[in-house]
Amino acid sequence: MTGASVSALLRQTPGVPVDLSCLDPAATPGFSGGKKRAGREVAALGDPLAELHTRLQAASTAGARDRLLLIVQGTDCSGKDGVGRHVVSLLEPMWSRSVAFVKPTEEELRHNFLWRIRKELPVAGQVAVFNRSHYEDVLVVRVHNLASPEIWQGRYEEINRFERRLAAEGVRLVKLMLHISPEVQLKRLTARLSDPTKLWKYNPGDFDERSFWPRYVDAYEVALSRCTGPDAPWYIVPADHKWYRDWAVAHLLLEALQAIGPEYPPADFDLAAERARLDGEGAVSAPPTRHAVRRA
Ligand code: AMP
Ligand code: MG
């Protein structure tokens, strides 16, 4: 990679309306190699990602409130699960959590749309990954009129207030829109039907949803334009090439953790005294050496 950070290349500028038709889903901003090199570079980010994540957790034990929330949005077959499998898996599993938001239950529908989201937020030191999110409440809900316009229209500002509050509480938000072309989606849906290990992912409704593609594009453009801010940026990730998608998301994660800059906390106990105690214990209870045993 050369020049600008991946974050700078893919981040949407607040105040500039998003036009997805101008963004090539097969582009590879910031990367000039192919599949193999991308794979090698993602693998090489494993150690730095895990290290930064460990620092994030360590810092939280000393009171730091920082945490990271990765929101992954995109149509069916855009690669939301793939990002989890190939990139999020590089983080420390103990301090990561992944949540998939599907059609709300009856109980969830009785509450405000953010109710189920709040329950899954990361605690300090954690990275949480949302596979779909509160954005569905201005995407699928808007496209299919699952609520009246008065209801979903008020949600954009409610989301902005919610995300501003999260940022103020130490949540670093990274919102990803995985951008694929309808042609690639068709190829992937077709591949699902010819792979017995992928049939479970196929839902006949997914094909019907394709006829709503232009309405989803509109709904995404409004959400991406209205709900982006300095503390809650959207990144549009060209995702026709799975290898670029993973490469870009790995860099976005790394850059977000680097921006937090977590540090290992110093000891909150008397280090010298503890060392002396352990040294003393070693002298008393060390197992006898072979030499000592022979002499005895
Ligand atoms: P999948 O991601 O393929 O498991 O599908 C999950 C489904 O849940 C998608 O069809 C989403 O549109 C749907 N879904 C997620 N959140 C909501 C929501 N808030 N309201 C209605 N449908 C939703
Ligand atoms: Mg699906």
pLDDT tens across 147-164, in order? 999 999 999 999 999 999
| pLDDT at residue 282, as a whole number | 77
Say yes or no: CB of residue 132 within 6 Å of ligand 1: yes
Residue 243, CB half-sphere, CA atoms under 13 Å: how many?
A: 12
Report pLDDT for 296: 43
Q: Does the pLDDT at position 99 exceed 50?
A: yes
Q: What are phi and psi of 262, to 5 degrees?
A: -70, 145
Among 78, 83, 116, 136, which residue has the most ligand 1 atoms within 8 Å of its CB, making it the best to mutate?
Answer: 136
**What are residue 52's phi and psi, to 5 degrees?**
-65, -35
Q: Please write the tens of the pLDDT for every residue from 169-186.
A: 999 999 999 999 999 999
Which of 4-13, 44-53, 280-289 bottoms out in mean pLDDT, i.e. has the lowest?
Answer: 280-289
105 close to ligand 1 (CB < 6 Angstrom): no
pLDDT digits (tens, 9 = 90+) for 25-40: 999 999 999 999 999 9
Give DSSP secondary structure letters for 145-165: TSS-HHHHHHHHHHHHHHHHH
Residue 67: beta bridge partners? 171
Query: Distance between CA 248 and CA 245 in Å, rounded?
Result: 5
Span 105-126, pLDDT tens digits: 999 999 999 999 999 999 999 9
57/92 Cα distance (integer angstroms): 10
pLDDT digits (tens, 9 = 90+) for 238-272: 999 999 999 999 999 999 999 999 999 999 999 99
Q: Ligand nearest 204 Cα, by number?
A: 2
Give every CB contact of residue 261 below 8 A, 6+ residues apart in sequence. Answer: none
Going from the Cα of 133 to the center of ligand 1, the distance in angstroms, rounded, reads 9
Q: Which residues surround ligand 2, an ion (CB under 5 A)?
A: 76
